[in-house]
Structure 1
Amino acid sequence: MTGQILRWNLFIGGHLSSSVPVRLVERTDEGQLVWLETGTPMWRTELPGGAHLRDIPPQDRPAGGYPVKADRWPLGSALIHQPAGAGHAVFWFFGRRQKFGGWYVNLEHRVHHGEDIDVADHELDVTVAPDRTWRWKDERSFAEKTGHPAYWSAGEAAGIRAEGERVARLAESGAFPFDGSWCDFRPPPRWTTPPRATAPARTVLRRSGPEGASPSRT
């Protein structure tokens, strides 16, 4: 139902990084759109020394994951397109006064569990400017993680990059979602900022097969 609050849970190397409430904008057989409001109360993994989870090798992390702390979504508001069965999501990012700032292609594997959207991040991303010029992001970090059992094999990495190349070609051609649609989206005034959800458990995603197969959730 439009306006329903869902939880967008981001996992890096099998461990929870953040959990943020989002609102459902639209759902069809082709996928769904959700709205992420800047400043939304959220939960973020509490890491030692201000480190980022992607920089901590999985073998050096607690088996049950790190504790979480209350925080707020620090980036701009975003409309997120999550196409059904695809290995990516596309963000329309909006800055001050809801000005459209460009697209962000997050390469990922996504599983839905009721109101939870569990996203296993694939590290490599594509940024697309408003004029549809694009570039890779985090190529070095993606290469460094390739071959680690918590991430992806060399063969799987090739598939992840191919997914990014496919979406980049859509940007070059001006095809949806880079055709100018939704760039003027404004959430309905009745949509208040979602409240902070109950703190997530120390959740991990364990791979049960090749990247792209459904991971188990514990």
Structure 2
Amino acid sequence: MTGPRGGTPIPSPGEPGSILRWNLFIGGHLSSSVPVRLVERTVEGQLVWLESGTPMWRTKLPGGAHLRDIPPQKRPAHGYPLTADRWPMGSALIHQPTGAAHAVFWLFGRKQKFRGWYVNLEHRAHHGEDIDVTDHELDINVAPDRSWRWKDEQSFADKTGHPAYWSADEAVAIRAEGVRVTRLAETGAFPFDGSCCDFQPPRHWSTPRRATNPRRALL
């Protein structure tokens, strides 16, 4: 497919370089929607590239609050309005293994320096170009030396049992998923084996444009 005015070809959906939408939901409400580029897709999963400063959509919340800190019963029934923004954090290569309840981020800082890994415990559903992610709150920081620590344990515990989040039994499964990933880090198995720590996106990839305003504020 040819790009605008006969420029750089635009990859077809599913091809490396094609643009997908990474939609993050917290407690059933959309928190953010960010365009990402597909790096690779196999039966084992896919890799996507999230570039720092990418134009995105985020929920417009009162007083600078974060969606995870607002109880679902205090949110508008039809979700919050969205506002245009840019991805405020560094760039990341994201591994989304097929059928797994987690994703692993390679985090990059200035001059594409690798800063470590971030494990997001989550449930994913794919709908065409949309990657809908239900966040499971509990996460793991993994340093470049593969030492690791849990993140947001108290917030995860506080949300357990609420109907908008997860039951006590589901919480056990979520934590068990995290434990499985930490074992990969401890043994230096993929994705913690040193691969992709020097990843560089192709030079011809431009920063994705802001996608159309997502129609769904709720899962």
TM-score, normalization by structure 2: 0.93
| Whole-angstrom distance in 2 between the partners of 1:170 and 1:200 | 35
Distance apart, 1:63 and its partner CA = 1.2
SS of equivalent residue, structure 1 residue 166: helix
Counterpart-to-counterpart distance in 2, 1:111 and 1:121? 12
Unaligned runs of 5+ in 1: 206-218
SS of the residue aligned with 2:157? helix
**Is the counterpart of residue 20 in structure 1 residue 34 in structure 2?**
yes
Return the letter of the residue paired with 1:114: G
In structure 2, stretches of 5+ residues that fail to align are 1-14
Match of 2:83 in 1: 69
Partner of 2:130: 116
2:185 alignment partner, one of 166, 171, 177: 171
**Equivalence map 1:1-218=2 (5 Å):** 1-205=15-219
Output the TM-score relative to the length of structure 1. 0.93
Taking the aligned partners of 2:166 and 2:101, their CA distance within structure 1 comes to 13
Deviation by residue 1:102-159 (Cα, 9 ceiling, x = unmatched): 0000000000000000000000000000000000000000000000000000000000
Would the aligned equivalents of 1:64 and 1:202 in 2 still touch at CA under 8 Å?
A: no
Cα distance, 1:202 vs structure 2 = 4.1
The CA RMSD measured in Å over matched residues stands at 0.5
Amino acid at match of 1:5: I
Q: Deviations over 1:77-104 (max 9, x none)?
A: 0000000000000000000000000000
Which whole-Å CA distance do the structure 2 matches of 1:183 and 1:49 have between them? 37
Question: 1:71 is matched by which residue type in structure 2?
Answer: D
* Structure 1 runs of 4+ with >3 Å offset: none
Q: Secondary structure at the match of 1:22?
A: strand
Aligned to 1:213: none
Amino acid at match of 1:26: E
Cα deviation code 1:142-195 (max 9, x no counterpart):
000000000000000000000000000000000000000000000000000000
For the 8 Å contact 1:67–1:202, the answer to whether it is kept is no
Letter in structure 1 aligned against 2:211? A
Counterpart amino acid of residue 29 in structure 2? H
Counterpart in the other structure of 1:210: none
User: Which of these two proteins has the greater Rg computed from alpha carbons?
Assistant: 2
The aligned length equals 205
2-structure distance, mates of 1:201, 1:115: 14
Please tell me the residue identity of whatever aligns with 1:158: V
Task: Please give the alpha-carbon distance, in whole angstroms, between the structure 2 residues aligned to 1:135 and 1:106.
Answer: 13
Give 1:19 deviation, angstroms. Answer: 0.1
